[in-house]
Structure 1
Amino acid sequence: MNQKNQPGVSIHSGFPNPATDDTITSLDINKLVIKHPLSTFFMQIEGDEWDRYGIFSGDIAIIDRSLKLHQTDLVAYWSESCFIIAKAHNLPIDTAIWGVVSTIIHRYRP
């Protein structure tokens, strides 16, 4: 497999070159994951129901209330006394969806 076909990330390593410092742009987590700031909310995942999908207790779900719902989305909805995360296609028709999960933030090392 050649290097063009390998998945990965862009990482700068080695001794920094002072002449190129102004060409490196920093990542802004807000710009990367929050597309609609006025309709975006954060919720912390509790429990192990989503472990098999790589979503673990303590992870942060970013909920965007402005996104149009797709049947494959994870959504947040209010049930009695708390928010629940579920797959949109598994909900009863009359469920009031609070927002769409747009991003999950998972700490690699707590």
Structure 2
Amino acid sequence: MGTRICAGFPSPADDFLDGELDLTRILVKNKPATFLWRVAGTSMRDVGIFDGDVVVVDRSVNPKTASWSWP
């Protein structure tokens, strides 16, 4: 015991499911230089990065000042 199954009526939306979402393909340009970090603190909250968020860091990219602001 301990395994659970969904026993309801199948969703009609299941017929329209897309394929698998590969975040590595979307977010990672340089695999050996890319890391995921969990944010600790609130110093970046003004640009929409909050305590506990996970960020993608690519060490091969030179940092620059963002030209946009968080709403």
What is the TM-score when the length of structure 1 is the normalising length?
A: 0.41
CA distance in 2, matches of 1:43, 1:28: 18
CA distance in 1, matches of 2:64, 2:49: 19
Cα RMSD for the two superposed structures = 2.3
* Runs of 4+ more than 4 Å apart: none
- Correspondence for 2:46: 52
**TM-superposed deviation, 1:70:** 5.3
* Structure richer in strand, relative to its length: 1
| Gaps in structure 1 of 5+ consecutive residues | 1-13, 74-110
Task: State the distance in 2 between where 1:65 and 1:39 align.
Answer: 5
Q: How many pairs align?
A: 55
Task: Tell whether 2:58 aligns with 1:64.
Answer: yes
Q: Give me the whole-angstrom Cα distance separating, in 2, the residues matched to 1:57 and 1:40.
A: 20
* TM-score between both structures, scaled by the size of structure 2: 0.59
> What is aligned with 1:26?
20
